[in-house]
């Protein structure tokens, strides 16, 4: 009975960690879906360019079956891309419909979409740029500043530990917690920033820098606190 409050807190901690890891998993899944969408779009565009070059050069005749396949590829790309960019998904759909009925491309109702080869190339580049920018925004601008601040606090605390007066026994655990917090915070903030820039190649966390920062910070805090607490005793 005396340990019940601690057990409840421990269970809540595990629930929070479980929710966090679930969010990481969802982010990873979304990243896979983005890559699948980009691959589908690139395949449709590449096959279209290859077909047109063959026809225009006279190396290949027009082929209704090949054009139906191009329509299928653009329809697949439309479905995959639509989750990330509905406008681009619509453009892929119109591009695919035009391979079934070329009059779609000249219909004023759909001309606003711009589905020429150069238009679709430019749209794909912009699509990738937007996804990259969105991933970068997952890490707030103040993350690296906070990391540097806590790194300075860690250095000053270590300096005090080396040259300052002995820490009273009753305050050693408090000092250990402070040191663990400073080390964990500096590593978490700087680590999250590094993940967002792709400089830390961690397969499970590289697509979710904020989650990496949280999970990594918790782990570092526990390890550092236990080491210091053992050293003080």
Mean pLDDT across 62-67: 94
User: Is residue 17 included in any domain, yes or no?
Assistant: no
CA dihedral sign, ordered 135, 138, 140, 143? negative
Residues 147, 216, single domain; the answer is yes
Residues 60, 49, single domain; the answer is yes
pLDDT-based confidence at residue 73 (cuts at 50, 70, 90): very high
In terms of residue numbers, what domain contains 212? Answer: 139-232
Residues 159, 227, single domain; the answer is yes
Report whether 91 contacts 113 (CB < 8 A): yes
User: Is residue 104 included in any domain, yes or no?
Assistant: yes
User: Is residue 158 included in any domain, yes or no?
Assistant: yes
Distance CA 184, CA 176 (A): 12
Residues 155, 215, single domain; the answer is yes
User: Is residue 110 included in any domain, yes or no?
Assistant: yes
pTM: predicted TM-score of the whole model, two decimal places: 0.50
pLDDT tens digits along 204-215: 444 555 555 555
């Amino acid at each position: 009975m005396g340990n019940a409050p601690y057990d409840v807190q421990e269970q809540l901690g595990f629930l929070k960690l479980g929710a966090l890891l679930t969010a990481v998993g969802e982010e990873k899944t979304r990243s896979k879906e983005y890559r699948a969408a980009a691959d589908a779009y690139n395949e449709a565009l590449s096959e279209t360019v290859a077909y047109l070059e063959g026809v225009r050069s006279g190396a290949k005749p027009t082929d209704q079956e090949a054009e139906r396949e191009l329509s299928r590829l653009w329809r697949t790309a439309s479905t995959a891309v639509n989750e990330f960019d509905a406008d681009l998904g619509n453009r892929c759909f119109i591009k695919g419909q035009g391979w079934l009925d070329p009059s779609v491309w000249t219909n004023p109702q759909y001309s606003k979409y711009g589905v020429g080869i150069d238009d679709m190339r430019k749209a794909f580049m912009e699509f990738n740029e937007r996804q990259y920018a969105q991933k970068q925004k997952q890490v707030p601008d103040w993350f690296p500043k906070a990391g540097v601040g806590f790194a300075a606090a860690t250095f000053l605390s270590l300096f005090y530990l080396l040259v300052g007066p002995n820490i009273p026994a009753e305050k050693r655990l408090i000092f250990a917690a402070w040191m663990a917090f400073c080390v964990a915070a500096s590593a978490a903030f700087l680590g999250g920033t590094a993940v967002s820039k792709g400089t830390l190649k961690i397969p499970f966390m590289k697509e979710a820098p904020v989650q990496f920062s949280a999970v990594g910070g918790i782990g570092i805090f526990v390890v550092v606190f236990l080491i210091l607490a053992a050293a003080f005793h």
